[in-house]
Amino acid sequence: MTFTFKNLSADRDDLRVDVLTGLAASPKSIPPKYFYDEAGCRLFEAICAQPEYVLCRTEQALMRSRLPDIAAAIGAVDCIVEPGAGDCVKVRRLLDALHPGQLVVMDIAGAPLAAAAEPLSRDYPDLAVTALGMDFLHDLEAAAPHLPAGRRLIYYPGSSIGNFPPDAATALLARFRRLAGADGQLLIGFDLKKDPQRLHAAYNDAAGVTAAFNLNLLVRLNRELGADFDPARFSHYAFYNPVAGRIEMHLVSLAEQDVSVAGERFHFALGETLHTEHSYKFRCDEFSTMARNAGWQWSAEWTQDGFAVQLYR
Ligand SMILES: C[S@@+](CC[C@H](N)C(=O)[O-])C[C@H]1O[C@@H](n2cnc3c(N)ncnc32)[C@H](O)[C@@H]1O
């Protein structure tokens, strides 16, 4: 039916500010949302196809096999809202089952989002599609005027919630609840705690795609902030930390070196790490406690092969 794209973060300078702040900190870090330039989006899709990274395929298999139950538990919805929708593939299954009149997708990578969302309006002639290029961490609330009244379902798949430490995840879930409104629901997919060897393998695929994804961040900073990182002098290093219950992803400096970023110089000692991502893993009860603390009421849950999907009201 209709397709609308709006870039709500066009005139922001967050990348420069956040990167300079993160590089000046100790330990150094850069928020994972900056992985997703166009190359980063393509590399993430390639990660999902790696034999070791079963997370995406398991979630898709769960959604396929349990869809009738899931759709029945959700009931009628007027609008599906997906923050961080990426390639917009997963939401198709829900569109087929729930037939909402409206879909609102958001992503910090605005151009790839628009390219992925536009075909949805052709494939679903009765659906009004709105794609918002925006950083939902900065200003989720700016999406509110673009949401129709009625029953809203927030869909947050892919274990993206795992990128946030528990306090920040709880705060984000509370913001989702406010965006969902009084009749709102949340359908969320997350990776479960499991054998650390399986988790370790998932983030260290043999083809080196996750390593390329991690190192692409430096290529992006070279291009967009005039930095002079030599990616060959950094090593992708990801491991499961069972005490914290998370995968930690780092870029480890292979030499003592100085790097210039946006006109400022930063020193890396040999072996110093630049932290790029956390990916928390949960038990179902841990997650539901967090969601309850954010004001959501547990409604149903489905699990398969180490992955969970939960529904909240
Ligand atoms: C791990 S991918 C998941 C994509 C898709 N939801 C899926 O499950 O396959 C995370 C997506 O969220 C987007 N993203 C990450 N942080 C974001 C933010 N703060 N605001 C908007 N989008 C964000 C990324 O650009 C990327 O497309």
Report the pLDDT value the prediction gives residue 9, as an integer from 0 to 100: 81
Residue 12 scores a pLDDT above 80? no
Q: Give the mutation target among 93, 107, 175, 276 for probing the ligand 1 site: most ligand atoms within 8 A of CB.
A: 107
Residue 273 scores a pLDDT above 90? yes
Question: Strand 273-280 vs strand 28-29: parallel, antiparallel, or unpaired?
Answer: parallel
Work out the pLDDT band at 139, boundaries 50, 70, 90: confident
Q: Is residue 35 domain-resident? A: no
Report the pLDDT value the prediction gives residue 165, as an integer from 0 to 100: 97
Which residues share a beta bridge with 258?
Answer: 267
Q: Is residue 253 domain-resident? A: no
Residue 156's domain is classified under what CATH number? 3.40.50.150
* Ligand 1 in reach of 47 Cβ (< 6 A): no
Q: Is residue 107 domain-resident? A: yes
Q: Is residue 2 domain-resident? A: no
**In the predicted model, what is the mean pLDDT of the chain?**
96
- Residue that the structure tokens 């999902």 belong to: 48
Report the pLDDT value the prediction gives residue 68, as an integer from 0 to 100: 98
User: What percent of the chain has a predicted confidence (pLDDT) above 90?
Assistant: 97
* Ligand 1 in reach of 158 Cβ (< 6 A): yes
- Ligand 1 centroid to Cα of residue 217, in Å, is 15
Query: What mean pLDDT do residues 68-97 have?
Result: 97
Q: Is 212 helix (H, G, I), strand (E, B) or coil?
A: helix
Burial class (CB in 10 A: 0-12, 13-18, 19+), 17: exposed
- Residue that the structure tokens 């990182």 belong to: 229
Q: Is the peptide bond before 119 cis (omega within 30 degrees of 0)?
A: no
Q: Are 83 and 154 in contact (CB under 8 A)?
A: yes
Q: Tell me the pLDDT tens digit for each residue of 43-73.
A: 999 999 999 999 999 999 999 999 999 999 9
Q: Is residue 306 domain-resident? A: yes
Query: What mean pLDDT do residues 96-111 have?
Result: 96
- Indicate the number of domains in the chain: 1
Q: Is 82 helix (H, G, I), strand (E, B) or coil?
A: strand
* Ligand 1 in reach of 160 Cβ (< 6 A): yes
Range of the domain at 106: 52-194+283-312
Q: Are 310 and 298 in contact (CB under 8 A)?
A: yes
Q: Is residue 307 domain-resident? A: yes
The amino acid present at 3, given as its one-letter code, is F
Q: Are 246 and 280 in contact (CB under 8 A)?
A: yes
3-state SS of 100-165? CCEEEEEECCHHHHHHHHHHHHHHCCCCEEEEEECCHHHHHHHHHHHCCCCCEEEEECCCHHHHCC
- Residue that the structure tokens 């330039």 belong to: 37
Q: Is residue 1 domain-resident? A: no
Work out the pLDDT band at 11, boundaries 50, 70, 90: low
Closest by alpha carbon to 193, among 238, 157, 247?
247
Q: Are 291 and 186 in contact (CB under 8 A)?
A: yes
Q: Is residue 304 domain-resident? A: yes
**CA–centroid distance for 20 within its chain:** 22
DSSP helix, strand, coil percent of the chain (3-state; round to 5): 45, 25, 30
* Ligand 1 in reach of 108 Cβ (< 6 A): yes
